[in-house]
A and B are shown apart, each in its own frame.
Chain A
């Protein structure tokens, strides 16, 4: 056994029956104290022997340390490779650019590391090891809180901290005075039997309690996360200014329920986006950097309730009926009016466009007009908020709509919407369609494009803005926060409190009574026991009206 506990056992030390790191890794899952044979050869007897051996291996500090390492190591690919949860498009792209490597990585779960079985195996083993170490220690702490401090050792000068002096008081009175000082300082005392003159004192049980609290709270965080995964959900909704939506499964764009959540569990609120405003830096090196977003919404918590208004901002979500609504994105929705060959208005709506990666909200979108006669119409469009012609190509030079324009390509034919294959509203399947215009056509607000062959017109009548909302419900959130705070409190306790013992012995000597004070701190993470002992010893000496240099008795030393 190469664990510290073994050293303590070898040294016959017994301040606390469990052996934790002497340096006191406050955060240490210091392991089971019974674990004195950890690295010895596995026993050659029966299944139960093997099980015991395995359990001791698992709950040993070395194993915990290795598992901690693996946890850190295992997290690395999760940050280096695109992850399905956070960046599904990135995963797709990785498959395209690394066709040979990607399936292999996928097989290893490296695109979803934090849900991968091997990752779960690491943290579950770690937490099992933690439980196996923390639970016995809790019992031991409870035991030592009930029992008294140990008897004072015979030779206190052999303790790491000790002091001696003589006093005129008789031994029993000196011990009485010392007990008074120690009790005032909050130590638990153990008094000597009638014939002896010593007192033992101990303080700082909160250190171990804090350490245990920290580890149990980590366990609590894990349970809270699991709670969120089972009973929570996450949904997305894109909402154009002026529109209203009700929080039902069909109205949501995306719905990711937890394992035990159904569509009926959604709270029945409705939200209307009245207005959205974004402002951007107008000048300086960071020109175009957003400076403020504000979505004015009104909402009703449940049908029949009065509508209330709220300013939804980034960092300022709306809490409604145990869910939270976040502003997570925004964009432009140009409004088009399309007439077909018969002159009928077959499309008149704000159409959300997706901002591209080129910046300044150059946005792409499609307009699909399945009701147009004689053939269905489709338009591939680009919306440019502040358009500038740079050498023949349209570019956006500012994210705000200073000079909005739309460039589009018109198609006629079959949109393919009845093929049974679900279509994205942001993509146009031109397989069954014929291009109507040779180049791209540029429209400014209010302008109308007449389609060739008398197929109708498309007018760019203006634009609105849209916001994307994220609706989340996570019942594990508050427990996780509480556990996080508890973990921090436990950590602080285990680092700041030191568990220490102080012993005082008084012996009648040739010239008055000799008093010996001894002290030891088992764990002293933040230091300072030496100073405390110095001040305590001096206080004791003062209480004993110390007289002159120490004169130790010759016996026994």
Chain B
């Protein structure tokens, strides 16, 4: 079937629109940093750590059992007010969250038991308000940023879908389409993260990275809509590359989180050493280190099985197309390296001495290997995956 050039043009227009709207959303996220409702999170991370350590000590005394990092479970990525130290039952409750249960399904007991004192006062836990409710509380800048993000994601999705309709196949057949689709996944995923974990403080970084990636794609490797070579004409293209695109989009978000974690962590270390001035406005607005760490971890946990599935689907396809399910083709090798590095991250997070900074460096190394695979190996190293359609 021939390429529908009109639809291809529609796709291009929507992508430009998405890029513009995304840029505006970055401005709005930045506006929240500059003018938005301030957070009470001055020393949330430190206070939280103290609280959890205290609790571990208590636990040890009773002989009850729980692992250290588990002590602060619950909604991550939200800065907690220092008040939480005295109200441990509120662990993980975001500062901006609505105090009263917004969920009508919650039993009537909710909220009534709050009067109890700090030590004995472990009232019935409240059902955390919905993400939309939290966003409403967060102020106009966050609302605007989220609305723009959703608008941009919609335009972006239309761009990807129309591209697929224009070429009568899944819209991830060359590198331009791949990056377009993976950034779409990243933004959809991140909007979900905002709503579930109230992580809008990370918006300027994630959406900013998406704008940069998409802008570079549009200017450097734009490829007009076209049909595929026979080797790619298989429904396994849809499955294998779809999984790889999904996983890459998710890992993209995880990588941004990881960088924020490292930079904020470095700042946190430099302040006591006197090398940086305390009270950095941006860092104060970020989630605490532990929450950032957990958010990154959960993002990787989400992406890792998808990547694994993508590798397996690729092996099945390789068996169909090339007569072997694994042949250490350069791209296969790098997909394997990426998989191993993310596995390293998952293990490192459970190995003392490797947690925190080191684990996140490994995670970023994993993402670097993924990007290296896409940008260098597929383009410059001769192999059976040389389909990038660049240059």
The 0/1 profile, CB within 8 Å of A marked 1, for residues 210-241 of chain B is: 00000000000000101101110110100000
Q: Is A83 located at the chain interface by the 8 A CB criterion?
A: yes
Q: Which residues of B contact A87 (CB under 8 A)?
A: 382
Q: For the complex formed, measure the closest distance between the CB of B161 and the CB atoms of chain A, giving whole angstroms.
A: 23
Q: Which residues of A contact B76 (CB under 8 A)?
A: 527
Q: Is B282 located at the chain interface by the 8 A CB criterion?
A: no
Q: Which residues of B contact A78 (CB under 8 A)?
A: 328, 333
Q: Is A441 located at the chain interface by the 8 A CB criterion?
A: no
Q: Which residues of B contact A23 (CB under 8 A)?
A: 67, 69-70, 294, 297, 349-350, 355
Q: Is A165 located at the chain interface by the 8 A CB criterion?
A: yes
Query: Which of A114, A157, A520 is B66 in contact with, Cβ under 8 Å?
Result: A520
Q: For the complex formed, measure the closest distance between the CB of A28 and the CB atoms of chain B, giving whole angstroms.
A: 5
**A159 to B333, Cβ gap below 8 A?**
no
**A314 to B127, Cβ gap below 8 A?**
no
Interface residues of A in 1-41 (CB under 8 A from B): 2-4, 6-8, 10-15, 19-30
Instruction: Give the CA-CA distance A154 to B64 in the complex, in Å.
Output: 9
User: Given A6-B352, A65-B354, A158-B55 in contact, is the A549-B347 Cβ separation under 8 Å?
Assistant: no
Instruction: Give the CA-CA distance A13 to B341 in the complex, in Å.
Output: 30
**A79 to B381, Cβ gap below 8 A?**
yes
**B352 to A158, Cβ gap below 8 A?**
no
**B123 to A79, Cβ gap below 8 A?**
no
Instruction: Give the CA-CA distance A504 to B121 in the complex, in Å.
Output: 16
Instruction: Give the CA-CA distance A410 to B59 in the complex, in Å.
Output: 92
**B62 to A164, Cβ gap below 8 A?**
no
User: Given A21-B350, A324-B323, A495-B305 in contact, is the A485-B328 Cβ separation under 8 Å?
Assistant: no
Q: Which residues of B contact A163 (CB under 8 A)?
A: 89, 122-125
**A225 to B67, Cβ gap below 8 A?**
no
Number of chain B residues close to chain A: CB under 8 A: 98
Instruction: Give the CA-CA distance A6 to B126 in the complex, in Å.
Output: 35
Q: Which residues of B contact A474 (CB under 8 A)?
A: 324-325
Interface residues of A in 510-526 (CB under 8 A from B): 520-526
**A480 to B325, Cβ gap below 8 A?**
yes
Q: Is B321 located at the chain interface by the 8 A CB criterion?
A: yes
The 0/1 profile, CB within 8 Å of B marked 1, for residues 316-333 of chain A is: 110000001010100000
> Residue of B at shortest CB range from A153?
B64
**A27 to B381, Cβ gap below 8 A?**
no
**A284 to B337, Cβ gap below 8 A?**
no
**A61 to B298, Cβ gap below 8 A?**
no
**A62 to B353, Cβ gap below 8 A?**
yes
Q: Which residues of B contact A491 (CB under 8 A)?
A: 304-305, 308
**B125 to A522, Cβ gap below 8 A?**
no
**B125 to A11, Cβ gap below 8 A?**
no
Instruction: Give the CA-CA distance A86 to B381 in the complex, in Å.
Output: 13
Query: Which of A153, A225, A525, A542 is B107 in contact with, Cβ under 8 Å?
Result: A542
Q: Which residues of A contact B92 (CB under 8 A)?
A: 530
**B124 to A162, Cβ gap below 8 A?**
no
Query: Which of A20, A76, A83 is B337 in contact with, Cβ under 8 Å?
Result: A76
Q: Is A537 located at the chain interface by the 8 A CB criterion?
A: yes
Q: Is B22 located at the chain interface by the 8 A CB criterion?
A: no
**B60 to A157, Cβ gap below 8 A?**
no
Binds B, one of A287-295, A302-310, A423-431, A449-457: A287-295
**B125 to A12, Cβ gap below 8 A?**
no
The 0/1 profile, CB within 8 Å of B marked 1, for residues 412-448 of chain A is: 0000000000000000000000000000000000000
Instruction: Give the CA-CA distance A315 to B333 in the complex, in Å.
Output: 21
Q: Is A462 located at the chain interface by the 8 A CB criterion?
A: no
Instruction: Give the CA-CA distance A522 to B308 in the complex, in Å.
Output: 25
Number of chain A residues close to chain B: CB under 8 A: 114
**B74 to A530, Cβ gap below 8 A?**
yes
Instruction: Give the CA-CA distance A281 to B228 in the complex, in Å.
Output: 10
**A552 to B109, Cβ gap below 8 A?**
no
Query: Which of B67, B107, B109, B126 is A22 in contact with, Cβ under 8 Å?
Result: B67
**B127 to A534, Cβ gap below 8 A?**
yes
**B65 to A14, Cβ gap below 8 A?**
yes
**B326 to A225, Cβ gap below 8 A?**
yes
Q: Which residues of A contact B70 (CB under 8 A)?
A: 22-23, 160, 520-524
Query: Which of A's residues lie within 8 Å of B, judged by CB?
Result: 2-4, 6-8, 10-15, 19-30, 61-62, 64-65, 68-69, 71-72, 75-76, 78-80, 83, 85-87, 90, 113-114, 150, 153-155, 157-165, 225, 234, 281, 284-286, 289-293, 313-317, 324, 326, 328, 470, 472, 474, 477, 480-481, 484-485, 487-488, 491-492, 495, 520-527, 529-531, 533-535, 537-539, 541-542, 546, 548-550, 552, 557
Query: Which of B's residues lie within 8 Å of A, judged by CB?
Result: 55-56, 58-60, 62-76, 89, 91-92, 106-107, 109-110, 112-113, 115-116, 119-128, 224, 226-227, 229-231, 233-234, 236, 294, 297-298, 301-302, 304-305, 308-309, 312, 315-317, 319-330, 333-334, 336-337, 340-341, 343-344, 346-355, 369, 377, 381-383
User: Which are the 8 A-B pairs with shortest beta-carbon distances?
Assistant: A21-B350, A22-B67, A530-B74, A15-B65, A534-B125, A25-B350, A79-B333, A79-B330
**A163-B89, A542-B107 are known contacts; what are 15 more A-B pairs with Cβ within 8 Å?**
A12-B63, A13-B64, A21-B67, A160-B71, A165-B123, A313-B230, A315-B233, A317-B323, A326-B322, A520-B65, A523-B67, A526-B302, A527-B75, A549-B113, A550-B124
Identify 17 residue pairs between A and B in the complex whose beta-carbon atoms are under 8 Å apart, listed by A's number: A4-B67, A7-B67, A11-B68, A23-B355, A78-B333, A79-B330, A79-B334, A155-B64, A158-B58, A160-B71, A314-B321, A315-B234, A315-B320, A472-B323, A491-B308, A530-B128, A538-B127
